[in-house]
């Protein structure tokens, strides 16, 4: 899978989810399918707070803090998640992540087919993480330096609007 994945999570006991699915979902789904620049993953769970089904990346569960929730994920991030790795570069409609990874709600309009589709289109066309060639790498932990390779985080500083900037030292037996 090389196209970004648009993920929609709905809970069966969520009034806003039921209303959105009745009023907007079919039209939004058709817009997304006709757009042909993203894959679509519709996830339906029984109750608010239930874990997502096992066929989806387990790490997605940490992002699902409200319902319905809409996420846009680069293909490389999705694939890493399917392999059991931590997923970074997950965009959430109407939310952001603080530096610790906690989901923070943003003031935004209620989701509707037009605002969500515009969000998808704007991000896929303008955000570098969705451009061809972007590949997210697994966390440093998955390639330990003790195995004779990997990377070591050397220096980090906070950049207020973008998160943190780190330099890495390549470790090698050569």
Summarize pLDDT for 144-172 with one digit per residue, the tens.
444 444 444 444 444 444 444 444 444 44
165/143 Cα distance (integer angstroms): 20
- Residue 31: in which H helix or E strand, if any? helix 26-35
The DSSP bridge partners found for residue 53 are none
Quote the longest CA-to-CA distance of the chain. 61
Of the candidates 65, 55, 44, 72, the residue with the CA atom closest to the CA atom of residue 130: 72
Query: Tell me, what's the pLDDT at 56?
Result: 96
Query: Tell me, what's the pLDDT at 145?
Result: 42
Tokens at residue 36, please?
A: 């042909």
DSSP string of 113-133, one letter each residue: HHHHHHHHHHHHHH-GGGSTT
Residue 131 or residue 143, greater confidence: 131
47/60 Cα distance (integer angstroms): 16
Residues 57 and 87: beta-carbon distance below 8 Å? yes
Q: Is residue 114 predicted with pLDDT exceeding 80?
A: yes
User: In which residue ranges of the chain is CATH 3.40.30 found?
Assistant: 5-130
Least confident span in 23-37, 119-133, 135-149: 135-149
pLDDT band at 95 (very low <50, low <70, confident <90, very high): very high
Q: What is the reported pTM?
A: 0.76
- Average the pLDDT over 67-81 and give the result: 95
Query: Tell me, what's the pLDDT at 43?
Result: 97
Residues 14 and 22: beta-carbon distance below 8 Å? no
**Percent of the chain, pLDDT > 90?**
61
95/102 Cα distance (integer angstroms): 10
Question: Which CATH number applies to 5-130: 3.30.379, 3.40.50, 1.10.3470, 3.40.30?
Answer: 3.40.30
Query: Tell me, what's the pLDDT at 154?
Result: 46
């Amino acid at each position: 899978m090389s196209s970004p994945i648009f993920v929609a999570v709905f809970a069966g006991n969520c009034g806003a989810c039921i209303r959105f699915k009745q009023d907007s979902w079919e039209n939004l789904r058709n817009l997304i399918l006709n757009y042909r620049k993203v894959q679509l993953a519709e996830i339906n769970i029984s109750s608010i707070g239930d874990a997502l089904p096992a066929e989806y990346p387990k790490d997605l569960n940490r992002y699902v803090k409200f319902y319905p929730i809409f996420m846009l994920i680069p293909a490389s991030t999705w694939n890493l998640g399917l392999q059991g790795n931590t997923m970074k570069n997950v965009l959430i409609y109407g939310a952001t992540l603080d530096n610790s990874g906690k989901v923070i709600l943003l003031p935004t309009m209620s989701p509707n087919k037009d605002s969500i589709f515009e969000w998808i289109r704007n991000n896929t066309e303008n955000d570098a993480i969705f451009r061809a060639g972007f590949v997210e790498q697994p966390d440093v932990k998955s390639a330990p330096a003790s195995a004779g390779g990997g990377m070591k985080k050397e220096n980090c500083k906070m950049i207020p609007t973008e998160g943190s900037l780190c330099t890495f030292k390549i470790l090698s037996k050569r």
